[in-house]
Each structure stands twice: as structure tokens, then as C-alpha cells.
Structure 1
Amino acid sequence: MEVRKVSEKEVDFYDFEGLLEKAYGELPENVRHHDSRFEVPAAVVTIAGSRTIIENFVDVAEAMNRDPNHLLKFILREVGTAGALEGRRAILQGRFTPYLIGNKMKRYLKEYVICPVCGSPDTKIIKRGRFHFLKCEACGAETPIQHL
């Protein structure tokens, strides 16, 4: 049996720090410089007569990086009512508590924004054929989602 002397350079090939730096270098630019924590503003909900108004609806949708119409369609389906966008706010037929609206927005975040693989909010919805996927910009995962 022959014993071969291994140089230090060959051993460092599997150096954890080196592999970590290499992986970090291969991340997309928008993910690499993600310094801030993902925060969505709380919905400002007012009830006027038999209508519920979400005052900052478009701001919430923009913070999630989603189309306001997609978010509105989800909420209307979840609460089982009619509604529409009016300027930067959403008007729903019926009286709904701020707690209920907040819970529906959290559910939307979980199903249509946050990557189930890595937990990153840097995702987008893509359509391939008849199917819709949540594509993560951070890890590259594609998760099938229900179409609204």
C-alpha cells in the first residue's frame, strides 16, 4: 500500500468557509443585498354602514410585491362577498372585523408570497400552461399553487 502526501491546498478544497463564500457568490443580486426584514403594513380597516373599507389596500399589496387585484380576489373569495378597488383602497360588501381581514392577509402571505422551501418573501407567481407556480428568487424552488 502506497501512502501519498496531501498538500494543504487539496485539503482546503472542502473548507466550509470557502464553500459558503462560493454559494453566496452564486446568489442573485437582489437576494445577496437583502438587508431589511420583510414587513407588511397592517391593514387599516374601517366599517362604514354595511361596507368594510381597507384604506391602505394597495400599499399592503405593493409591500407583498403582488398585484392588488390578485390579493382582492383572494380576500373576496375567502370572506364570500363582493367588492372592488377604488383608488388605493378596497371596498367590501358586508361588515368584517379588522382581525378577520388581517387573518386572510396572513393566509395569502403564506400561500402566495412566502417560499415554502426557504421562507423567503422574494417570490413571483408564474404560469406554465394551465398551472401556476410560486417561483422563489432566492432558492429557485417552484411550488405549485392554486389558481384564483
Structure 2
Amino acid sequence: LDFSSKKKKKPKNFLPPDPPQAEVALTPAKVAEDRGPSTATVVESAQGGMEPEAPIKNATEGIAQSSTTGYPYDMLLARVFAQIQALNPELMSDTKRRLVMAPPCMARVGTKKTHFTNFNGICRSLNRDPAHLSAYLFAELGTTGSVDANGALLIRGKYQAKHIEPVLRNYARTYVLCSTCQSPDTELSRDSRLLFLQCKTCRSRVTVKSVTSGFQAVTGKRAAIRAKTQ
């Protein structure tokens, strides 16, 4: 047996190419004929006859016709300034409101106490509660005191105006001036054990830390203090 010879393959039958056909130009009538009956809906007229419905216009044409022209930039800018003038006229003024505070007037009472005479007037200029401002002064100075019937603050210790001015300045920066627009027209409000500083000019609202007193050393005779507590 001779296995070296390969298997003979059958010859493939090649089909002759189709004869070239003449190209037919597609006209609207030819396209309508190829598609079949017209898709235009037919409505019945009042006389009983049949007439084709008018073709629907392009949707973009209706949108283009119904759309309004854009507003000019100058008109929109004028409307914005008119709204600001109606709602917040103070923002349109060139002069900003500044915080004006009188210098503290200190007077010596005896040898161990100081009288803050215009304390009530400073509280009114800052628009803050005297109890809150006095608590801040006592915490920063590390002392105690009380408010008398005339609204003056009686501080334990010897203090001058140069000692009180930096404390008042820090208080105004933290609890009076707005951190966004630096406006003094603010108010303090407490919500869920948090103290908020809310500005009436720019409507911003930020949290501020509460006043906490630091360590105070026990001075004087301990026996007298112990006797008072008993």
C-alpha cells in the first residue's frame, strides 16, 4: 500500500457572476411605491369624501418659534442691584458700619478692688448681655466680681484701663464682629448647648466657644472659708 499519495479533492464549482443591472434613480414617487401605501392618515370630510391630512410640521420649528429671546446682561445686573437695594439697603452704601466703643473708665475702690464705671455703656454699645461680658472679663483676668445697682462692675484686684482694653478688644473680635463681613450687627443665640453668632447683614451663622473660667487659686485664710461653708 502506498500511503504517500494524498487524497484527491473535488474541484469547486464556481458560479458565474450576475450580469450588471442598470441603476435605478430613486425618486419620491419610487420611494413611496416601494414603501407601499402612504403613511399619511386619511380623515373623512364633512361631505363624506376622503382627503389626506396635512403633514405634521417639524417639532423643532415649533420649539424655535415658542422660545423667547435671551435677556441682556445689563438688565439682569440692574435687577440684581434693585433687589439688593430693596432688601438690604445697607449693602449698597459706600460707608460700612464700624464698631465704636468708649475706653474703659476705671476707679480704685479701697486697696483691693476696682470699679468699672462705664461697664453698662460698653455693654449697650456692643449689644451684649452684661452677664456674658462680665463672665468673660472674670475668666480672662482670673478674678471675681459683681455688678452693682447702677450697672457698674466691681472687680476684685487692682486693674487699669490698659489691662481691660485688650480683653474688650478680644471679646469684640470673638463674640461681636462677624467673621465673614466684619459687621458688628450680630446677635448671640444658644441652640442645643451650642452658642451661635448670627450676622444680620450677610446671614452667616457660626459657632463660638462658651465662656469658661480657668483655675483660681484659693487665697485668704482657709479657716474662714471653711467656716463659711459649714
TM-score tier after normalising by the smaller chain length: 0.7 to 0.9
1:10 is matched with 72
- Asked if residue 92 in structure 1 is aligned to residue 155 in structure 2, the reply is yes
**Cα distance, 1:30–1:11 mapped onto 2, change above 3 Å:** closer
Mapped partners of 1:115, 1:128: distance in 2: 18
1:123–1:136 contact (8 Å) kept in structure 2? yes
The one of 67, 73, 84 equivalent to 2:129 is 67
**Which residue of 1 is the match for residue 83 of structure 2?**
22
Aligned partners of 1:101 and 1:111: how far apart in 2? 16
Aligned-pair identity (%): 22
Q: Which residue is equivalent to 2:166?
A: 103
Greater fraction strand: 1
In structure 1, distance between residues paired with 2:189 and 2:73? 43
Judging changes above 3 Å, is the alpha-carbon distance between structure 1 residues 31 and 11 closer, same or farther for their aligned structure 2 residues? closer
Are the counterparts in 1 of residues 175 and 197 from structure 2 also a CA contact under 8 Å?
Answer: yes
* AA matched with 2:129: D
Deviations, residues 56-114 of structure 1 (Å, cap 9, x unaligned): 10110011000111100000000000100012210100111211111111111011101
**Using a 3 Å threshold, how does the CA distance of structure 1 residues 35 and 120 change in structure 2: closer, same or farther?**
closer
Segments of structure 2 that go 5 or more residues without pairing to the other structure are 1-68, 212-230
CA 32–63 in structure 1, closer or farther in 2 if over 3 Å, else same: farther
Paired position in structure 2 for 1:3: none
CA distance in 2, matches of 1:36, 1:145: 22
Q: Which has the higher contact order (CA 8 A, sep 6+)?
A: 1
* Equivalence map 1:44-63=2 (5 Å): 44-48=105-109, 49-63=111-125
Aligned-partner SS, 2:72: helix
Is structure 2 residue 182 aligned with structure 1 residue 119?
A: yes
Give 1:35 shift.
Answer: 7.8
User: When the two structures are superposed, what TM-score results if normalisation uses the length of structure 2?
Assistant: 0.55
CA distance in 2 between partners of 1:82 and 1:11 (Å): 61
